[in-house]
């Protein structure tokens, strides 16, 4: 058992590329001696110089004392050969993502390090169990998965393979805390927590695009400005590069034996084939100049004719919210039991498309416009039409909803608009991660907020939006599409029906 709190802890770091440098910097700053080794001659020296200049610039900005920067740099020891890792208490590898190469490294290391040395892998997509399986003592191998850039992404997944001994997970958790990171524990499953939980955002957005519901720019705008994501899914795909994102999507899908929830999109495959990789190739979904995506201006809102507005909503409180909007704009509500012949029928459905809503309410689909209120009426509003909504009624609805200066996106008919679909999908996937006991509810939320930068953890977010509402959205899409990707996780379904938090663990 390694004492990772020890002041004399020595950590071996193999592979001094992007990730290795970040991990080495953290460790050196935490008072740990780090031996740096890389297969490419000079790479470890270059890494030391690069970390030293990083520490210097932190000191120049006042984030670190000059003495601390010097002391941390002094703890970085480039070594010329693997043999020099003998005597390390922990070795972390951040070499090329190749199962065979990682297995070979660990079997060689077993012959070099002492019997108590912990071997950790920073793999993001390989099985820790598979890497450990080549070792004589697989029990000492664990996953220690950081995110890029390591010093800023303050979370690390601690993964136990099928034969990892309990002390390894404990030691890695303690080490993570010493490095100033939040450890989250994940079972050895494809994508662990973050790359598993992150699947819903892009795949559902692609699905919405593929169905012709909205343009990629509108999907981005809605998810940023209504749901509150820092970046839309298509901006993110362009930033990451389709050559990176699409293979990850395919790999997680295949590793889960073609789980429909993770089904990738032909749209992405085709764009990847065409070389539309994103920022790095100058053209992705957006065209990029000087590293910035070029966004076409939104269409201007037409000056629609004022007319009486008949309102209906699927959730308590939503009808009043619509009536307030109508009155605040100085328009007149149509209070009749049934809409008058020239009234606009403004509806706020939950988990229904505009067509189904109009037919269920027995109102004229030619005068029906639906608006999404799941994220409240104050943020960017999304409106959708039935296939037969007449233009003057759409124009009136757009003018009404934009009257107070709030941005409005217009989409085509879709069960669950854009944001309802994406949120229901990602909350459902997070629920299923909990259901499969891959991680605890708290760790899922911490991993996603810190690792993906979402405004909230998916389970807490699901609670805020209402588990029952999200279940209704999923059930409606599932029944309308027949696609099993929308089947609700039992974790969500049970908690929604019981009226309890999605963070409620199984006793
Ligand atoms: P990188 O290409 O920047 O660095 C890899 C380094 O390993 C290179 O310096 C290379 O010379 C060295 N190397 C390759 N084979 C070696 C061997 N057999 N022995 C010693 N050194 C060897 O790669 P990066 O991005 O730092 O990734 C490293 C690992 O971290 C991979 O497993 C990757 O999946 C994982 N990872 C990467 C993330 C990222 O965003 N780049 C995020 C999380 C994990």
Q: What is the pLDDT of residues 424-474, one digit of tens each?
A: 999 999 999 999 999 999 999 999 999 999 999 999 999 999 999 999 999
Name the residue of 12, 18, 101, 112 to mutate for ligand 1: max ligand atoms within 8 A of Cβ. 18
Q: What are phi and psi of 370, to 5 degrees?
A: -110, 145
Residue 30 per-residue DSSP state: T
Whether 122 lines ligand 1, by a CB cut-off of 6 Å, is yes
Question: At 291, is the pLDDT very low, low, confident or very high (cuts 50, 70, 90)?
Answer: confident
Catalytic residue among 122, 127, 195, 343: 195
Contact 38 CB / ligand 1 (< 6 Å) = yes
pLDDT at 405 over 90: yes
**Cα of 98 from ligand 1 centre, angstroms:** 10
Going by CA atoms, what residue is nearest to atom 1 of ligand 1? 17
Please report the pLDDT score of residue 366 as a whole number.
98
Pocket test for ligand 1, best of 93, 95, 194 (most atoms within 8 A of CB): 95
Name the phi and psi angles at 278, rounded to 5.
120, -150
- Known catalytic residue: 122? no
Determine the topology of domain 198-294 in CATH: 1.10.1040
In short, whether 19's Cβ falls inside 6 Å of ligand 1 is: yes
Length of the chain: 507
Distance 97 CA to ligand 1 centre (A): 7
The predicted structure's pLDDT at residue 23: 98
Distance from residue 349's CA to the centre of ligand 1 (Å): 48
Q: Is the CB of 40 under 6 A from ligand 1?
A: yes
Q: If you take atom 39 of ligand 1, which residue's CA is the nearest one? A: 148
**pLDDT interval class at 490 (50, 70, 90):** very high
pLDDT value at residue 221: 97
Kindly give the distance from the C-alpha atom of residue 267 to the centroid of ligand 1, in angstroms, as a whole number: 29
Over pLDDT 90: what percentage of the chain? 98
- Tell me, using a 6 A CB cutoff, whether residue 97 lines ligand 1: yes
- pLDDT of 158 reads 98
pLDDT of residue 322: 96
| pLDDT computed for residue 163 by the predictor | 98
Ligand 1 contacts CB of residue 94 (under 6 A): yes
Ligand 1 centroid, distance to 321 Cα (angstroms): 52
82 is catalytic: no
What confidence score (pLDDT) does residue 292 get?
Answer: 87
* 41: Cβ contacts below 8 Å, ≥ 6 apart: 80
Over residues 166-194, mean pLDDT: 98
Q: Do residues 447 and 194 make contact, with C-beta atoms less than 8 angstroms apart?
A: yes
Q: Residue 16: which pLDDT band, with cuts at 50, 70 and 90?
A: very high
For the chain, what is the mean pLDDT?
Answer: 97
The fraction of the chain above a pLDDT of 70, given in percent, is 100
Residue whose token pair is 């080549």: 134
Tens digits of residue pLDDT in 198-242: 999 999 999 999 999 999 999 999 999 999 999 999 999 999 999
Write b or e for each residue in 102-127: b if 16 or more Cβ atoms lie within 10 A of its Cβ, otherwise e: bbebbeebbebbeeebbbbbbbbbbb
Ligand 1 atom 11: residue of nearest CA: 40
pLDDT digits (tens, 9 = 90+) for 142-175: 999 999 999 999 999 999 999 999 999 999 999 9
Q: Which atom of ligand 1 is nearest to the CA of 16?
A: 9
Distance from C-alpha of 80 to C-alpha of 72, rounded to nearest angstrom: 20
Percent helix, strand and coil across the chain, each to the nearest 5: 45, 15, 40
Neighbour count for residue 61 (Cβ, 10 Å): 8
What is the residue with the minimal CA distance to atom 30 of ligand 1?
94
Regarding the beta carbon of 360 and ligand 1, being less than 6 Å apart is answered no
CA–CA dist 415, 354 (Å, integer): 8
In the reported structure, the alpha carbon of residue 38 is separated from the centroid of ligand 1 by a whole-number distance in angstroms of 10
The response to whether residue 73 sits with its C-beta less than 6 Å from ligand 1 reads: no
What would the mean pLDDT of 286-306 be, rounded to a whole number? Answer: 91
Q: 10-188 and 198-294 share one CATH topology?
A: no
Is the Cβ–Cβ distance between 448 and 440 less than 8 Å?
no
Q: Is 145 left (phi over 0), alpha (psi -120 to 50) or beta?
A: beta
pLDDT at 290: 86
Where are the domains positioned within the chain?
10-188, 198-294, 309-406
CATH tag, 10-188 = 3.40.50.720
Give residue-wise pLDDT tens across range 96-139: 999 999 999 999 999 999 999 999 999 999 999 999 999 999 99
What is the predicted pLDDT for the residue at 1? 82
Q: Give the pLDDT score at 288.
A: 96
- pLDDT, residue 213, reads 97
Average pLDDT of the segment spanning 258-282: 96
Provide the terminal-to-terminal Cα distance of the chain, rounded to the nearest Å: 31
Q: Is 207 helix (H, G, I), strand (E, B) or coil?
A: helix
Catalytic annotation present for 110: no
Is-catalytic flag, 245?
Answer: no
- How many Å lie between the centroid of ligand 1 and the Cα of residue 124? 10
pLDDT over 90 at 328, yes or no: yes
Q: Is the CB of 437 under 6 A from ligand 1?
A: no
For ligand 1, the distance from its centroid to the CA atom of residue 133, given in whole angstroms, is 20
If pLDDT is split at 50, 70 and 90, which confidence band does 507 have? Answer: confident
Q: Beta-strand (E) ranges in 55-179?
A: 76-78, 90-93, 118-121, 141-145, 155-160
């Amino acid at each position: 058992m390694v004492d990772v709190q020890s002041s004399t802890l020595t950590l071996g770091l193999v592979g001094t590329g992007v990730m290795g440098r970040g991990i080495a910097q953290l460790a050196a700053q935490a008072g740990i001696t780090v031996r740096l080794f890389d297969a490419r001659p000079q790479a470890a020296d270059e890494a030391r110089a690069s970390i030293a200049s990083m520490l210097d610039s932190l000191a120049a900005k006042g984030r670190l004392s000059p003495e601390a920067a010097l002391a941390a740099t002094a703890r970085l020891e480039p070594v010329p050969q693997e043999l020099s890792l003998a005597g390390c208490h922990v070795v972390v590898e951040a070499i090329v993502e190749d199962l065979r190469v990682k297995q070979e490294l660990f079997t060689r290391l077993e012959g070099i390090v002492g019997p108590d040395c912990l071997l950790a892998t920073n793999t993001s997509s390989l099985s820790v169990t598979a890497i450990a399986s080549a070792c004589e003592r697989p029990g000492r191998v664990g996953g220690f998965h950081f995110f890029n850039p390591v010093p800023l992404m303050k979370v690390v997944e601690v993964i136990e393979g099928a034969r990892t001994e309990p002390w390894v997970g404990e030691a890695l958790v303690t080490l993570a805390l010493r490095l100033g990171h939040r450890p989250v524990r994940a079972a050895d499953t494809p994508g662990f927590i973050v790359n598993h939980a992150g699947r819903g955002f892009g795949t559902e957005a692609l699905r919405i695009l593929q169905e012709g519901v909205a343009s990629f720019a509108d999907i981005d705008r809605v998810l940023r400005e209504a749901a509150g994501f820092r970046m839309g899914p298509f901006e993110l795909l362009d930033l990451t590069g389709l050559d990176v994102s699409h293979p990850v999507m395919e790999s997680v899908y295949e590793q889960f034996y073609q789980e429909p929830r993770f089904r990738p999109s032909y749209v992405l495959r085709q764009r990847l084939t065409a070389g539309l990789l994103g920022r790095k190739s100058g053209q992705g979904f957006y065209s990029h100049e000087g590293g910035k995506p070029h966004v076409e201006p939104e269409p201007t809102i037409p000056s629609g004719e004022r007319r009486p507005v008949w309102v209906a909503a699927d959730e308590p409180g939503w009808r009043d919210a619509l009536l307030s909007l109508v009155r605040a704009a100085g328009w007149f509500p149509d209070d009749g039991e049934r809409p008058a012949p020239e009234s606009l029928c403004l509806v706020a459905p939950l988990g229904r498309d505009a067509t189904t809503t109009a037919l269920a309410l027995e109102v004229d689909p030619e005068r029906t416009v639906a608006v999404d209120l799941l994220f409240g009426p104050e943020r960017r509003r999304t409106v959708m039409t039935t296939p037969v909504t007449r233009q003057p009624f759409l124009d009136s609805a757009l003018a009404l909803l934009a009257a107070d200066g709030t941005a409005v996106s217009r989409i085509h008919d879709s069960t669950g608009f854009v944001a309802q679909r994406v949120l229901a999908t990602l909350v459902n996937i997070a629920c299923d991660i909990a259901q499969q006991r891959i991680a605890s509810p708290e760790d899922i939320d911490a991993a996603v907020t810190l690792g993906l930068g979402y405004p909230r953890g998916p389970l807490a977010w699901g609670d805020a939006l209402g588990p029952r509402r999200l279940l209704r959205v999923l059930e409606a899409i599932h029944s309308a599409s027949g696609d099993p990707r929308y089947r609700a996780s039992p974790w969500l379904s049970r908690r929604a029906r019981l009226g309890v938090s999605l963070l409620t663990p199984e006793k």
